[in-house]
Structure 1
Amino acid sequence: MFSTVAVNGEVKRWEDLRLHDFSQGFFFGAGFFTTFRIDNGSPLFLARHLARLSASVSAFPTTVRAPPPEVMHVEAVRDTLRRCLDSDAALGARFTGVGKLAVSDGKLLLTLRPPAPDAERSQREGRTVDSVESGAYRHGEPTPNHKGLSYFRQYSLMANMPLLANERGHACELPTANLFVLLDGQLVTPPLDAPCLPGIIRRVLLDAGQVNGVPVFEQALPLSRLTEARACVITNSAVLVSGVTRLLGQALPDSLSLAERLRTHVLEMAAREG
């Protein structure tokens, strides 16, 4: 992570932050975060990220103290990001990487890091998903619908990236990504009550309704149906879309071309939304 950060719009250095200013977030995980991609200094889908962050804060008004409303505006965050990039020679106005916005203790913290080290390889070669964490979630559990600072469950599983399933034997998501499976000519993703995170890229694809003539929609996804998959992709805001070339022991070579088509659509939508 880079040393330049911002707190409620004020550019600071990471080493100058004070723990007691974020005590509820640190000690109790009372807060939320969102991670967004930055290409050549421009944040992708920033309005969507801020809307989701605000919705999570609003869902827990007595637990998480919201920052001042003015610092959560899209243009305010864009300006804060620009000032961070301009102030640090290691970043610069054309910075490409990942931004993170975290809300806790009445503060909005912006941090920056380089692109994921395996991002290009993941897009080029795809990923393998060969294990399932059964019963990781309970159907209808609401907390996975919010990206909380209490993120240990997902963090502890990042190295292996298993498919997380609920007690009904339905697929939910991966530790850091949403799941899409091509079944019967349709691209299916688990519904929010599976449960799963309402990922930004997931929503972009669902809002499209179809991509290249392939319908996209939510549907309960029993693990038993994954053997029928013709292709599979995972989505998140840092890498956008990655093909799953091997899903629970089944080779899915068509996943790479599907991922490429979906990435093209996502980038087109990002350019339109600004």
Structure 2
Amino acid sequence: MNVSVWVDGALVDADTPAISPLDHGVTVGDGVFETLEARDGVPFALERHLRRLEYSADRMGLAPVDLSAVRAGVDAVRGVVGDGITRVRITVTSGGGPLSSVRGPGPQTVVVVGSDGPAPERCRAVRSPWRRNERSAIAGVKSTSYAENAVMAAYAAQRGADEAIMANTLGHLCEGTGTNVFVERQGEIVTPPLASGCLAGITRGLALEWGAGAGMPVRVAAPGELDMSVLDEAIAGDAHLAVTSSTRGVQHIERIDGTDLAPGPLLTRLAALYERRADADHDPVPPRSR
């Protein structure tokens, strides 16, 4: 795999230490990040990702992110990996700090990584035994404090899966460790609301926007409308499931808890629509800029 790394204004070798061991992103996970798919060598939906990066930093109480520096980093790693680039990861931390939860004075650390690694080809999922806290201080934030997701992903891997689907503390369907979840049942497609504690996924938002624009029956569920029993409906054949993420697009969940699932016709249409629209416009303008 070809990897390019840019740290605080300079390209560095991927195997060369480039971040202080006292960086608060290292010691306590005090930072935010974005992962982008690249299509035809172009980072997809970059402006939407940068806006979410700003939102996450604001929610975390971090200083405003220098977006010009981030864009420079993205251009730099693209220049090294070339048109074969498939993924870009942007990470911003609060910078150096003490060995405690208290932040230091900064400056922030900005890291951009580009690679040509393959995207996940399939999704096989299990139910997570742990729940997302929808009342957490960082609920809905793309934070580098990702340890609980790593634990759940490891749990899934131990069971032959690559994703874990979790409820929130109320028992309502929430999200996967790195994905949003869409459910097809009763002739429509629904996805958990942000009030469930799920991330406002870029792909989730585009799937909703583009699907509704094409006249498809796709919407955000009402709070509490979807609980984890919908996974049992899928196992029984009464519902269908898909996940969305920047690297997966709209992807059918082909197995849940060891049971194979048939793809839903509406979700299959939505996946195809998403691919067509994404291929046609690599940087769809965020709604508030129109």
- Equivalent of residue 155 in structure 1, options 150, 154, 158: 150
Shift of 1:32: 0.6
Calculate the TM-score normalised by the size of structure 2: 0.77
In 1, Cα distance between equivalents of 2:84 and 2:134: 40
- Code of the residue aligned with 1:273 in structure 2: it is P
Deviation at 1:250, TM superposition (A): 6.4
| C-alpha distance in 2 between matches for 1:272 and 1:26 | 31
- CA-to-partner distance for each residue in 1:166-217, whole Å, 9 max, x for gaps? 2322111111111000122221111112111111100112223526532222
Q: Report the equivalent of 2:196.
A: 194
Counterpart of 2:84 in structure 1 is 95
Q: Which residue identity is paired with 1:246?
A: R
1:238 and 2:247 aligned: yes
Tell me, yes or no, if the aligned pair for 1:142 and 1:193 is still in contact at 8 Å: no
CA–CA distance in 1 between the matches of 2:54 and 2:63?
11
Summarize the Cα distance change of 1:22–1:266 in structure 2 as closer, same or farther, 3 Å threshold: farther
Question: Cα–Cα, structure 1 residues 41 and 205, in superposed 2: closer, same or farther, change >3 Å?
Answer: same
User: How much has 1:12 moved relative to structure 2?
Assistant: 2.6
TM-score, structure 1 normalization: 0.81
Residue of structure 1 equivalent to 2:133: 138
Instruction: Say whether residues 1:85 and 2:78 are aligned partners.
Output: yes
More displaced 10-residue stretch of structure 1: 146-155 or 216-225 = 216-225
Offset from partner CA, 1:89-148 (integer Å, 9 cap, x none): xx22x123211000012122101233336x2x32xxxx333x322441134335231111
> Residues of 2 paired with 1:69 and 1:80: CA distance?
10
Contact 1:137 1:164 in 2 (8 A): yes
* Cα drift, residue 71 of structure 1: 1.9
Gaps of 5+ in 2: 96-107, 286-290
Please show how residues 51-66 of structure 1 align to structure 2 within 5 Å. Answer: 51-61=51-61, 64-66=62-64
Asked if 1:4 corresponds to 2:4, the answer is yes
Letter in 2 for 1:195: G
User: Percent sequence identity over matched residues?
Assistant: 23
Equivalent pair of 1:135/1:169 in contact (CA under 8 Å): no
- Which residue is 1:216 aligned to? 218
Are 1:257 and 2:268 matched, yes or no? yes
Q: Distance in 1 between matches of 2:264 and 2:130?
A: 29
Check if 1:128 corresponds to 2:118.
no
Q: Is the 8 A contact 1:187 1:215 kept in 2?
A: yes
**Kept in 2: contact 1:208–1:216 (CA 8 A):** no
- Measured in 1, the distance between the counterparts of 2:185 and 2:254 equals 15
Residues 138-169 of structure 1, C-alpha deviation per residue, up to 9 Å, x if partnerless?
A: 34335231111111111122224221112322
Partner of 2:39: 39
Using the alignment, how far apart are the partners of 1:102 and 1:193 within structure 2? Answer: 25
> What is the rounded CA distance, in whole Å, between the counterparts of 1:225 and 1:4 in structure 2?
41
Q: How many residues are treated as equivalent by the alignment?
A: 256
Task: Using the TM superposition, give the Cα deviation of residue 259 of structure 1 relative to its aligned residue in structure 2, in angstroms.
Answer: 5.6
Whether contact under 8 Å (1:181, 1:232) holds in the other structure is yes
Amino acid corresponding to residue 132 of structure 1 in structure 2: R
Any idea what SS the aligned residue of 1:102 has? strand
- Partner of 1:4, secondary structure, is strand
Q: Which residues of structure 1 form unaligned runs of 5+? A: none
The one-letter code of the counterpart of 1:99 is V
Residue matched to 1:273:
284
Partner-residue secondary structure (3-state), 1:145: coil
Q: Distance in 1 between matches of 2:67 and 2:134?
A: 33
